[in-house]
Amino acid sequence: MDLHTVEQWVDARTVDAWRPGDAWLAGGTALFSAPGVHLRRLRDLGGTGWEPLVEDPDGRLEIAATCTVARLAAHPVALFGQCCRAFLASFTIWNMATVGGNLCAALPAGPMIALTTALDGGCLLLAPDGAARTLPVTAFVVGDGRTALREGELLRSVTVGPLPARTAFRQASLSTLGRSAALLIGTRDADGAMTLTITAATPRPHRLRFAVPPTAGELREAVEDEVEHWFDDLHGHPAWRRHLTFRFAEQIREELS
Amino acid sequence: MTFSVEVNGVEHTTEPRPGQCLRTYLRERGCFGVKKGCDSGDCGACTVHVDGVPVHSCLYPAVRAGGHAVTTVEGLATAGELHPVQQRFLDAQGFQCGFCTAGFVMTTAALDEAQLADLPQALKGNLCRCTGYRAISDAVRGVTTVETACPGRAVGASVAAPAGPQVVTGTARYTLDVDVPGVLHMKLLRSPHAHARVVAIDTADALALPGVQAVFTHEDAPRRRFSSGRHENPADDPADTRVLDDVVRHVGQRVAAVVADTEAAAEEGCRRVRVTYEVRPAVTDPEEALRPGAPLVQATGNVVGEVHGEVGDVEAGFAAAAAVYERTFHTPRVQHASLETHGAVGWLEADDSLVVRTSTRSRSSPAARCATCSTCPPSRCGWWRAASGAGSAASRRCSSRTWSRSPCCNCAGRCAWSSPAPSSSSVPPRGTRSPCA
């Protein structure tokens, strides 16, 4: 929709002090989907030319915040495609929406949050003065719609990997192809270590690590200890989300054991 | 660097506004086939191609289109020949009201083989509120369902909707698909309270805003009430509200209308209107509303009418039944959410007759009510029924528009009648037939 209060559009590469009413613009699918009457100026990241996907020699993958979902969906790793298809949004949105935008929106069902949490992602944040810091995704997304971003701070990229030997994916929603009510991902490394990522059922992402695959009871206990709140909105009752989480967690444990 | 975008092969250099989305930029260039549905990326009615890639133009920043080639539904046909997808939507009649069709056609035209094999996934970004998707699925798969009405065998033949060619090419004209030079825009300030009396409204700040032409409040509105749920017989439903009332009875009820040169100024004007409310006890549950002592929605009481009915001798039937199962059943209230946004355009003709162009399936009823709530005599009040972007009961009555997000037709009529700078239209009243009318 038209953002009627926006008075100025600037290229993010031009150095300019952060002002109240400024917003970073990546794909635009979040900013242009709500009136946002607080907005005065859009700082367009479209011209940054950041390489969408950069793989380092150790197998780690740096995903630029401006990497589109469509670009990620085309990546051969199966888990990437599974997570992209977990979007409520269609492929026509993937053509514009970005990985960074999904993280910054911080919605519990955000599948890019699930993906990057499962792959032990680290967020590179840049302050307006150029200062950089990194946070794990689980510390970046801190609640429903809440991130650790400070005023004017920018998510530059999220670095994941190396890719685990095996992954397991479970997702459910109230309607076919609907918004995720629970999205769980398990990973198993070559050295036997296992992780379980819980998203969508909880307000923020959770990641559990096990040096060796746990027993059913150990896993259940670990989830109970980790998760304090089950998310509640019209896309799923908290009790149902909890039920799905334990069910999927056990399925993942069996699949990866 | 100067702005330049190619739209359907034609270069445009008009600079977009900083916060403008591609949808409105294209419509301002005359591409009315690009529809406003949800305006937030869910419905897909605004789908266009940017360099061949399908996107939701309501979310696409117009500035970003600079240097690119945009194709809308109007640009899909080449050399006078329909695009194969357009022809398929005709052959299978893959539409009903047609409001979503341009978006479906544009998305479908961009699908690859793998996507065509999984239509629910591929088309989840396009919503249709009429067809139930069966006809669309047929269209995408190339099924032909239309028949020719041959002499002697015409009755029962599945003939094509006359408006089909306009629908699939984006040339069917719905309510707001009209360029009205100099049109003013109206936005409504709405109540945040479920029940309150408007004690005072200060419009000075809004009126001082450049571009704002008028602000209407209950003080400008006729005292006469009308029925917001009117049926054909006006006696069926009580007159329950004024165009702008000094008592609000639900959250979102219109409190003031700001008329301005631009939507932006009208919206800012709404934010500058200061309203003092005296909040009253509210009841928002029908069963609570029936209890003794419940807050009164209207002074006449909370019961508007009662409907009782039975077929045959129910008591005798129960007495004779082998088993009786008695329960109270509840259904949720459902809005069928037509894709076309609620809106209307009003203007005065040279002879001072009022014309209101809106999406409705009935002309006489809204015309009568408009005459009730403005000072325009019925004989000078004409209604132009544009193609309807989905119907059902909501578009039979113009009143259903009154609780929507956009200005209702009553307000548009009222505004055109009493605005200091009434809009006029050079568009001749030429009709498009609604396929679902």
Can you tell me the distance from the alpha carbon of A223 to that of B369, in angstroms, rounded to the nearest whole number? 61
Q: Does B68 touch chain A (CB under 8 A)?
A: no
Considering only alpha carbons, which residue of chain A is nearest residue B49? A92
pLDDT mean over B199-228: 94
Residue B346 contacts residue B413 (beta carbons within 8 Å): yes
Q: Using CB atoms, pick whichever of B53, B63, B115 lies closest to residue A95.
A: B53
Mean pLDDT computed over every residue of chain B: 86
pLDDT confidence of B403, banded at 50, 70, 90? very low
A247 DSSP 8-state letter: H
Q: How far apart are CA B279 and CA B284, in angstroms?
A: 14
> CA-CA distance, A138 to A207, in Å (whole number)?
8
Mean pLDDT for B142-147 is 96
How far does B109 lie from chain A, in Å, by closest CA?
Answer: 12
The pLDDT of residue B371 is above 80: no
Confidence of residue B420 (pLDDT cuts 50, 70, 90): very low
In A, which residues are within 8 Å of B44 by CB distance? 90, 92
CB contact under 8 A, A34 and B40: yes
Q: What percent of chain B is predicted at pLDDT more than 90?
A: 67
- For chain B, the residue count is 437
Of the candidates B421, B413, B422, which has an alpha carbon nearest to the alpha carbon of residue B372? B413
Nearest CA in chain B to A29: B59
Q: Which of A33, A39, A85 sits opposite B41 (nearest CB)?
A: A33
> pLDDT value at position B384?
62
Which of A32, A42, A173 to probe the B interface (max B CBs under 10 A)?
Answer: A32
Examine the pLDDT at B3 and tell me if it is beyond 90.
Answer: yes
Chain B residues near residue A44 by CB distance under 8 angstroms: 61, 63-64
Asked if residue B293 lies in contact with residue B216, where contact means CB atoms within 8 angstroms, the answer is no
Amino acid at A40: R
Q: Show the DSSP H helices in B60-122 as ranges.
A: 84-91, 101-109, 113-116, 119-122
pLDDT (average), residues B98-120? 96
State residue B386's pLDDT score. Answer: 65
> Between β-strands A41-44 and A22-25, what pairing exists: parallel, antiparallel or unpaired?
parallel
Of the candidates B120, B122, B279, the residue with the CA atom closest to the CA atom of residue B195 = B279
In tens, the pLDDT along B5-47 reads 999 999 999 999 999 999 999 999 999 999 999 999 999 999 9
CB contact under 8 A, A39 and B19: yes
Whether residue B119 has pLDDT greater than 90: yes
According to CATH, what is the number of the domain B185-283+341-418? 3.90.1170.50
- pLDDT tier for residue B424 given thresholds of 50, 70 and 90: very low
With cut-offs at 50, 70 and 90, classify the pLDDT of residue B253.
Answer: very high
**Cβ-defined contact of B121 to A85 (cutoff 8 Å):** yes
How close is the nearest chain A Cα to the Cα of B235, in Å? 39
Is B39 in Cβ contact with A8 (below 8 Å)?
no
Per-residue pLDDT tens for B378-391? 666 666 666 666 65
Residue B422's pLDDT is what? Answer: 35
Whether residue A176 contacts residue A154, with contact meaning beta carbons closer than 8 Å, is answered with: no
Mark yes or no for CB contact A37/B21 under 8 Å.
Answer: no
CB contact under 8 A, A32 and B63: no
Residues from chain A contacting residue B41 (CB–CB below 8 Å): 29, 32-33, 89, 93
CA distance B122 to chain A (A): 7
Instruction: Kindly list the residues from chain A whose CB atom is less than 8 angstroms away from the CB atom of residue B1.
Output: none
Which residues of A touch chain B, with CB atoms under 8 Å apart? Answer: 1-9, 25, 27-29, 32-34, 37, 39, 41-42, 44, 46, 85, 88-93, 95-96, 176-177
Confidence of residue B377 (pLDDT cuts 50, 70, 90): low
The pLDDT of residue A15: 74
The beta-carbon neighbor of A89 closest among B47, B64, B125 is B125
**pLDDT score recorded for residue A107:** 97
Q: Enumerate the residues of chain A whose CB falls inside 8 A of the CB of residue B126.
A: 90, 92
The domains located in chain A, with CATH, are 8-43 (no CATH), 55-160 (3.30.465.10), 166-256 (3.30.390.50)
B62 neighbors B22 (Cβ within 8 angstroms): yes
State how far the Cα of B25 lies from the Cα of B62, in Å rounded to an integer. 7
Q: Is the pLDDT of residue B339 over 50?
A: yes
What pLDDT shows up at residue B358? 84
Q: What is the H or E stretch that residue A124 is in?
A: strand A122-126
Task: Write out the two tokens for B126.
Answer: 């396009």
Q: Which two tokens stand for residue A109?
A: 């069902």
CATH 3.40.50.1820 correct for B1-172: no
Residues 6+ apart with CB under 8 A from A188: A164, A165, A166, A167, A168, A194, A213, A256
Question: DSSP string of A22-76?
Answer: EEEESS-TTGGGS--TT--EEEE-TTS---SEEE-TTS-EEEETT-BHHHHHTSS
d(CA B299, CA B82): 60
CB-based contact, B80 to chain A, within 8 Å: no
Q: How many residues in total does chain A contain?
A: 257
Residues 6+ positions from B383 with CB-CB distance below 8 Å: B355, B356, B357, B358, B360, B363, B366, B367, B370
> By the 8 A CB rule, do A140 and A147 touch?
yes
d(CA B52, CA B55): 9
Structure confidence at residue B307 as a pLDDT band (50, 70, 90): confident
A27 CB neighbours in chain B (<8 A) are 59
**Rounded CA separation B277/A240 (Å):** 41
Q: Where are the domains of chain B?
A: 1-172, 185-283+341-418
pLDDT of residue B132 exceeding 80, the answer is yes
Beta-strand relationship, B212-216 and B254-260: antiparallel
| ipTM associated with this complex | 0.95
Using one digit for the tens of pLDDT, what is the confidence trace for B53-79? 999 999 999 999 999 999 999 999 988
- Residue B390 has a pLDDT of 60
The closest alpha carbon to B1, from B67, B89, B99, belongs to: B67
pLDDT per 10-residue tile (average), chain A, 257 residues? 97 90 97 96 96 95 98 96 96 97 98 98 94 98 98 97 95 95 97 97 98 97 98 96 98 97
3-state DSSP assignment of residue A119: coil
Interchain CB distance below 8 Å, A2 and B20: yes
Instruction: Name every chain A residue with its beta carbon within 8 A of the beta carbon of B125.
Output: 89-93
pLDDT at B392 over 70: no
Q: How far apart are CA B6 and CA B67, in angstroms?
A: 8
The answer to whether B405 contacts chain A (CB < 8 Å) is: no
Other CB atoms within 10 A of residue B271 CB: 14
